[in-house]
Structure 1
């Protein structure tokens, strides 16, 4: 029969050296992982803004054809109740019918994402799904060191580049 002896005691837990090595490994892994995670978040914000704008344009085009009436996508005012011709698309956008009734609003891009448009301040789809005035529009969505282009052709089709 074996008896417990005070000289042969067992120790439980970690030594200070083991703890310091573990913390050093954790710090190295976090130093590598956090920048990648920040890049992932920025790319996700950029992609979410692109998809929000695409959904607005698809909705406007399909509603114009369905209602046989013009539907406009424009930058929204701060309350989201009407179009605003001054300011930036960074405050969000909305879709309205010919009577200026708001069909749906979209929030501002998140993070440091910015949205710029070339070709005009609003896009209006006609009853046949074409862009009013047969104009082409190009949106540039940028943030986090990358950018993406979304183009609307005169016949109302969408295309993306760099996304």
Structure 2
């Protein structure tokens, strides 16, 4: 550690020569601070540190002493007056905590930029997830219908429904039902079991049948659909997702034509 500025004014210890302070002998009067510093450096038993004082006329230098091998906690402290020592005097300046108006404006500006960039991306992310989830739900309903037809050895039909009890013929905004078609009339009748019901799609989304044809999809006892079906889901942005049912009854997500 570098030594402090050496003053020209003489500096003397506060005790008389020959006394002992905290077990350490005080040397004879020191003619100047520079001599005291050189004595400390030679003895290798003294440490110094400047200390700000609370009064302009009561400045001091804190000198910490310890015997060789002593711990830092056991080091006693001697205070020497240094009225004209050149060390910093006066009250310690208060450091205000917080932020300025300029810093606040910069932070708000950065936040607005991030929101402007992030909100459209977040909306697209949500719509993409909804499109994917609705497509997966349709594939799941068709796979359940096929597996139930094979297991029960009877026709199982998937059709759009507005009341979860009958087929409506409109895929656009209706829900759908999966039912066991025991009599083969492609309509849910009294006594026929409803295997599964699903709610309508979210606002701004709708299913449509590509290429026209029947408004329902039926699977026979060997899991075949009898004809090819393609359903297309469209959202408010115009993005689409298509689900295809092959003649064999295999269901998959495909690129829309």
CA distance in 2 between partners of 1:147 and 1:154 (Å) = 23
Give the match for residue 156 of structure 2. Answer: 71
Instruction: Give 2:166's match in structure 1, choosing from 82, 90, 93.
Output: 82
| 3-state SS of paired residue (1:60) | helix
Give the match for residue 140 of structure 1. Answer: 232
CA distance in 2 between partners of 1:59 and 1:93 (Å) = 13
| 3-state SS of paired residue (1:80) | coil
Structure ranking higher in helix proportion: 1
Is 1:128 matched with 2:222? Answer: yes
Give the match for residue 160 of structure 1. Answer: 253
Give the match for residue 52 of structure 1. Answer: 137
Q: How much does 1:162 deviate?
A: 3.3
CA distance in 2 between partners of 1:146 and 1:138 (Å) = 16
Instruction: Give 1:20's match in structure 2, choosing from 97, 105, 109.
Output: 105
| 3-state SS of paired residue (1:90) | coil
State the Cα deviation string for residues 39-62 of structure 1 (Å, max 9, x = none). Answer: 001111111110110011000000
Is 1:102 matched with 2:194? Answer: yes
Change (3 A) 1:3 1:83: farther
| Number of residue-to-residue matches in the alignment | 159
Extract unaligned runs of 5+ from structure 2: 1-51, 56-89, 183-187
Instruction: Give 1:39's match in structure 2, choosing from 124, 127, 133.
Output: 124
Aligned-pair RMSD on alpha carbons? 2.0
- Structure (1 or 2) with the larger CA radius of gyration: 2
Extract unaligned runs of 5+ from structure 1: none
Ranges of 4+ aligned residues in structure 1 off by more than 4 Å? 4-7
Change (3 A) 1:126 1:13: same
